[in-house]
Amino acid sequence: MRTKDSMLVQIGTLLVATSAIQLANGFFGTFFSLRVITEDFGAVMTGLVLSSYFAGFTLGALRCTRIIERIGHIRAYAGFAGSVATATAVMPLLIQSVPWLVLRAVVGFGCAGIFVTTESWLNAKAAPSERGRVFATYMVGTFLALAVGQLLISRIQIESAAPFSVIVAAFAMALVIVSTARAEPPQVSTAPRLPYGQLSRAAPIAVAGCGLSGLVSGTFYALVPAWMQGEGIERATIALFMLVAVLGGLAFQVPVGRLSDRFDRLVVLSALSLGFAATAVALAVRPRSLPAVLILAAFLGGFMSTLYPVCVADAHDRMPADRVVAVSSRLILVSGIGSVLGPLIGTSLMAHFDIDGVLYFMAAAVLVLAMVAGAGSAVTKAPRHLERPFDILPPQPTLFSHDPLGASTESSHPNTFADDRSSR
């Protein structure tokens, strides 16, 4: 009983610490988009600075496992959180494009390390019979913390150094919570490697979908708040818009997950892509009254946040179960490349065609995915969903590497919401 209570305390500690980090991260993403625009670095450098977080996160997701294997979970968590806090604290002291590009990449790398460390720790500590509930709590906490982070936008002066101090305080608090907890770090193991080309041959549509999902989500979260501020929209309204988009993502997860586990995932992916494209076009052409925009924001966030997990689930359906870690890492790489390219392309388009050009660009990219997925479902046989059900993933392109240290490859997978899979 004492062992179980200790395990629950460890899990609860990680969930509280990660919620604090996600609150800060949700606020940081929107705040930084607004702040970069006020600094007027120019279109090219603005795009590079906004993209650097995704580049750092992608690199971190691919490399941090080795760091965790070498120094252990607690010290790795402390190192990643400390690097984020340090980079954030330096930012208001060096308000220039190149230093911010480097520092924002460091933040992305550290955030990736924190999330991979947390997920691998949860996988190892949660009992198999409780992993679904643990990860359900984890993901709901993630969505809610990201949503609450948006509300801070209207309550703080973004031109000052105060937002950076708030973010540093949140990461430092998480670092204190984890480093002072009485915790026994889990064992680590080396995951099998995946040869390049194997995944793209087995699941080409899923790979393309992950890239396009990263492209549109990176574009949305980096550029839409910046454009709204440039149009003179009140920050309270910007915060509300982003909040609704995040909550829309939360609302779509369970129903889309059930559809994805019941029907051909490529059909579901095609429908989601069509829905996103139609919503993006509607945002561009409809009169922008606040009630209409908020409704569209909820649908846009919902469609956007479910594209990636459906692609991930389809890729795992088509790959051996013992390659789950390697497949997740490879898909993170593909999505990260898309997330880096999105703000770069979108910034250029916004300079010439305003936000409508960005919305049409996102719609066109995902429309291609809809056609490819629809065609793929017609010519290929859908695999059975036995080994890898739908996983709920966060609404931002801060994509997690599920089960990153190979903690479990059991048929009862962690971090899923599908019920009673054994009946299928």
Q: Does residue 208 surpass a pLDDT of 90?
A: yes
Q: 350 lies in a domain?
A: yes
Mean pLDDT across 26-47: 89
Please state, rounded to an integer, the average pLDDT across all residues of the chain: 81
Domain total of the chain: 1
Mean pLDDT across 403-408: 40
Q: 190 lies in a domain?
A: no
More confident residue, 270 or 351: 270
The string of pLDDT tens digits covering residues 365-395 is: 999 999 999 888 777 766 665 445 566 565 5
Q: Does residue 363 surpass a pLDDT of 90?
A: yes
Mean pLDDT across 74-80: 88
Q: 188 lies in a domain?
A: no
The string of pLDDT tens digits covering residues 49-64 is: 999 999 999 898 888 8
What's the pLDDT score for residue 382?
A: 64
Question: Which two structure tokens, joined as six digits, stand for 149?
Answer: 């982070």
Interacting residues of 347 by C-beta distance below 8 A, sequence separation 6+: 43, 44, 46, 47, 50, 223
Rounded to a whole number, what is the distance in angstroms from the first to the last CA of the chain? Answer: 35
Nearest to 117 by CA among 63, 159, 167, 170: 63
Q: 343 lies in a domain?
A: yes
The pLDDT confidence band at residue 418, using thresholds 50, 70 and 90, is: very low
Helix (H, G, I), strand (E, B) or coil at 126: coil
List the domain range (segments joined by +) for residue 272.
2-183+195-404+414-423
Mean pLDDT across 189-214: 81
Please tell me the number of Cα atoms within 13 Å of 106 on its side-chain side.
18
Q: How many residues does the chain have?
A: 424
Nearest to 67 by CA among 51, 87, 54, 82: 82
Cα dihedral sign for 229, 230, 234, 238?
negative
* pTM confidence score: 0.80
Q: 189 lies in a domain?
A: no
The string of pLDDT tens digits covering residues 256-278 is: 888 888 888 899 999 999 999 99
Q: 38 lies in a domain?
A: yes
Cα dihedral sign for 248, 249, 252, 253?
negative
Q: 349 lies in a domain?
A: yes
What's the pLDDT score for residue 352?
A: 87
Q: What percent of the chain has pLDDT over 90?
A: 35
Domain at 358, CATH number: 1.20.1250.20
What's the pLDDT score for residue 404?
A: 37
- How far apart CA 60 and CA 32 sit, in angstroms, is 20
Helix (H, G, I), strand (E, B) or coil at 391: strand
The owner of tokens 């996102």 is 362
